[in-house]
């Protein structure tokens, strides 16, 4: 999903094309309605977030509202690392049945050399392309994960 700022809420569309704009809320409700009809195995949503900070927060709230407890927001029981340790074993598809995972790129934030977040410079991030192939490799390595979700 390519998620952009909408007039009131985030919208999904493919930048610089003639595709229609669709409400993120409607897409999430539809995914939730049909996600596990054919299979109980996890749904993985891949998103490029082109929104400003206000609508990034809305993306998180819409997904939490739409998917509820099915949305993976913290380590799964039995897969929690001890305090001070990193997660070394990921849950299996069996462990994730009926769950929704979000894999996201936030194209509006980068990390500078001191480790601080800052707005991305104008350039490849503003191409509205859904492909990271168009971005300079050095800049692609600086893309941060979307805040508010556990991402694998």
Phi then psi dihedrals of residue 126, to 5 deg: -95, 10
Burial of 147 (0-12, 13-18, 19+ CB in 10 A): middle
**What are the pLDDT tens digits along the chain (152 aa)?**
999 999 999 999 987 788 899 999 999 999 999 999 999 999 999 999 999 999 999 999 999 999 999 999 887 776 666 777 776 678 899 999 999 999 988 776 655 556 565 655 443 334 444 344 434 333 333 333 333 444 44
Burial of 8 (0-12, 13-18, 19+ CB in 10 A): exposed
Tokens of 96: 């994730």
CA nearest to 122, candidates 136, 103, 133: 136
Burial of 100 (0-12, 13-18, 19+ CB in 10 A): buried
Task: Please state, as a whole number, how many other Cβ atoms lie within 10 Å of the Cβ of residue 15.
Answer: 14
The residue extents of the domains of the chain are 2-79+96-140
pLDDT at 141: 37
pLDDT at 15: 77
In this structure, CATH architecture of domain 2-79+96-140: Alpha-Beta Barrel (3.20)
pLDDT at 68: 96
pLDDT at 110: 55
DSSP 8-state secondary structure symbol assigned to residue 71: B
pTM of the model: 0.67
pLDDT at 36: 96
What is the distance between the alpha carbons of residues 64 and 84, in angstroms, rounded to a whole number?
A: 27
Task: Please state, as a whole number, how many other Cβ atoms lie within 10 Å of the Cβ of residue 94.
Answer: 9
What is the distance between the alpha carbons of residues 85 and 31, in angstroms, rounded to a whole number?
A: 34
């Amino acid at each position: 999903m390519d998620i952009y700022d909408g007039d009131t809420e985030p919208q999904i569309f493919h930048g610089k094309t003639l595709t229609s704009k669709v409400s993120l809320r409607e897409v999430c409700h539809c995914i939730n309605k049909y996600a596990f009809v054919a299979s109980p195995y996890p749904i993985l949503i891949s998103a490029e977030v082109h929104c400003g900070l206000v609508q990034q927060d809305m993306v998180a709230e819409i997904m939490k509202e739409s998917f509820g407890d099915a949305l993976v927001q913290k380590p799964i029981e039995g897969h929690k690392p001890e305090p001070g340790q990193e997660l070394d074993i990921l849950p299996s598809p069996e462990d994730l049945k009926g769950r929704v995972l979000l894999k996201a790129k936030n194209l509006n934030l980068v990390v500078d050399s001191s480790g601080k977040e800052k707005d991305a410079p104008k350039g490849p991030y503003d191409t509205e392309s859904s492909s990271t192939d168009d971005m300079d490799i050095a800049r692609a390595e600086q893309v941060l994960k979307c805040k508010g979700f556990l991402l694998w």
